[in-house]
């Protein structure tokens, strides 16, 4: 399995195993400075990242197993490496230098340290792309989706996860640098307006809605949890991994949710929205 970065981004420079644009192209990010390093410490053991990865692997292998998959804003390469291990030609595109380095150290074979607009990805060169818990960090979400539309080939697939429901908003959203939360309907309308056909939608992590309401949303509304912290968020991501009865219950709920999606069904409630879309082959003025 080999991907030649220069086939679709010829202006990037290879520097210590990581591709970067020439010159200083740093861009301010709506994301905690220590976010990638904090997540890196728990990703491999966290039920949250494990569950998301296994669901995403299934969907990518179902809809677009061939070609190059660009993981945009892919952080420490958690999804990139999972797809790579499943035989997908995945490339990590991460703007944070720390995240890009963590991705390389994790074993991601191809890593680009850049935001999408400065990476110089050739239009129409990607067969698939993903943005997993990325869109909510971008103020102009429609503009970002149009950039993704541009780099995809006609018929190419886009995979997204975003946080669900404004009524789950809490101090953790503020700390994480979120601009908004979505529903299946709102993200689907946004994608259609940016030239995509929506192929599959579902909520994810239905079993996390009650604890998020109880531990994040309601305390935030009552002024009891005014400032989210990376440490608290990281601890919650670790969850009940390896802790007896709680771990068994979470595993059972995860497997039930996974089976429903594998059978082609959708989950009707959850803390995340999951979407697979396809670049429309019909004429669109933004192509």
Q: What distance lies between CA 161 and its chain's CA centroid?
A: 5
Q: Write down the pLDDT at residue 12.
A: 95
* pLDDT for 3: 86
Tally of CB atoms within 10 A around 269: 12
Give me the pLDDT at residue 287, please.
42
Shortest CA distance to 225 belongs to which of 156, 174, 266? 174
- Which uninterrupted H or E stretch holds 150? helix 141-151
Per-residue pLDDT, 236: 57
| φ and ψ of 131, to 5 deg | -140, 100
Q: What does the pLDDT look like over 50-104, one tens digit per residue?
A: 999 999 999 999 999 899 999 999 999 999 999 999 999 999 999 999 999 999 9
pLDDT at 101: 96
CATH number, domain 5-279, options 3.40.50.300, 3.40.50.150, 3.40.50.720, 3.40.50.1220: 3.40.50.150
Rounded Cα gap, residues 31 and 92, in angstroms: 18
Report pLDDT for 1.
62
Q: What is the pLDDT of residue 63?
A: 96
Tokens matching residue 207: 């079993």
Q: What is the dihedral of CA 66, 64, 130, 79, to 10 degrees?
A: -70
229 pLDDT exceeds 60? no
Instruction: With CA atoms as reference, report the closest residue to 169 among 126, 206, 207, 136.
Output: 136
pLDDT confidence bin for 285, thresholds 50/70/90? very low
For 16-54, the pLDDT digits (tens) are: 999 999 876 667 788 887 888 888 889 988 999 999 999
DSSP letter at 264 equals T
C-alpha 208/C-alpha 205 separation (Å) is: 5
pLDDT at res. 124: 96
Confidence of residue 286 (pLDDT cuts 50, 70, 90): very low
Q: pLDDT tens, 145-161?
A: 999 999 999 999 999 99
Span 200-210, average pLDDT: 97
């Amino acid at each position: 399995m080999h991907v030649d970065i220069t086939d679709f981004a010829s202006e990037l420079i290879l520097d210590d195993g990581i591709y970067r644009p020439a010159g200083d192209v740093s861009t301010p990010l709506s994301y905690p400075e220590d976010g990638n390093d904090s997540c890196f410490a728990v990703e491999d053991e966290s039920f949250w990242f494990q569950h998301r990865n296994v669901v995403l692997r299934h969907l990518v292998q179902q809809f677009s197993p061939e070609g190059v998959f660009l993981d945009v804003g892919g952080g420490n390469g958690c999804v990139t490496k999972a797809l790579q291990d499943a035989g997908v030609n995945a490339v990590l595109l991460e703007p944070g230098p720390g995240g890009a380095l963590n991705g390389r150290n994790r074993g991601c074979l191809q890593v680009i340290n850049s935001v999408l607009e400065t990476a110089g990805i050739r239009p129409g060169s990607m067969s698939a792309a993903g943005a997993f818990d990325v869109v909510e960090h971008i103020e102009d979400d429609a503009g970002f989706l149009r950039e993704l539309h541009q780099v995809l080939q006609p018929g190419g697939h886009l995979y997204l996860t975003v946080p669900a429901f404004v009524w789950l908003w809490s101090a953790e959203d503020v700390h994480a640098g979120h601009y908004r939360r979505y529903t299946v309907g709102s993200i689907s309308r946004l994608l259609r307006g940016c030239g995509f056909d929506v192929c599959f939608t579902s909520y994810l992590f239905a079993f996390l809605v009650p604890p998020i309401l109880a531990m994040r949303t309601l305390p935030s509304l009552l002024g009891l949890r005014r400032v989210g912290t990376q440490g608290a968020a990281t601890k919650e991501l670790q969850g009940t991994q390896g802790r007896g009865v709680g771990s068994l219950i979470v595993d059972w709920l995860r497997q039930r949710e996974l089976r429903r999606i594998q059978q082609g069904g959708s989950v009707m409630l959850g803390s995340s929205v999951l979407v697979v879309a396809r670049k429309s082959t019909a004429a669109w003025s933004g192509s």
